[in-house]
Amino acid sequence: MTAILNSNNNTTLTQQWHALDIIWKGGQEQVKQGLPHHQLSPVWQILLLGDGSLTRHFQLLTTENTEIDLIDMSLIDRNGDGAPAQIENVLEPRFRRQVWLRTASGQRLAYATSWWNANHIDKYLQNRSLPIWESLSQLNTELYRDIQEIYHGNSSALEEAFGEKGPFWGRHYLFWHNRKPLTLIYEVFSPYLRKYLGPIS
Per-residue pLDDT tens over the stretch 143-187:
678 999 999 999 999 999 999 999 999 999 998 888 888 899 999
Domain 18-197: top CATH class: alpha beta
For the chain, what is the largest distance between any 2 Cα atoms, rounded to a whole number of angstroms?
A: 50
Question: Over the stretch 102-118, which tens digit does the pLDDT of each residue have?
Answer: 999 999 999 999 999 88
Instruction: Read off the pLDDT of residues 36-78 as tens digits, 9 standing for 90 and up.
Output: 999 999 999 999 999 888 999 999 999 999 999 999 989 998 8
Give pLDDT, residue 12: 33
DSSP code per residue over 176-194 = EETTEEEEEEEEEE-GGGH
Q: Half-sphere exposure (CA, 13 Å, Cβ side) for 24? A: 9
pLDDT of residue 2 exceeding 60, the answer is no
Q: Which residues of 178-197 are buried (b: 16+ CB within 10 A; e: fewer)?
A: eeebbbbbbbbbbbbbeeeb
**Confidence (pTM):** 0.85
Per-position b or e across 108-130, b if 16+ CB within 10 A of its CB: bbbbbbbbbbeebbeebbeeeeb
Confidence of residue 10 (pLDDT cuts 50, 70, 90): very low
**Which pLDDT belongs to residue 14?**
40
* Burial degree of 98 (CB within 10 A; 0-12, 13-18, 19+): buried
Q: Which amino acid is at 65?
A: N
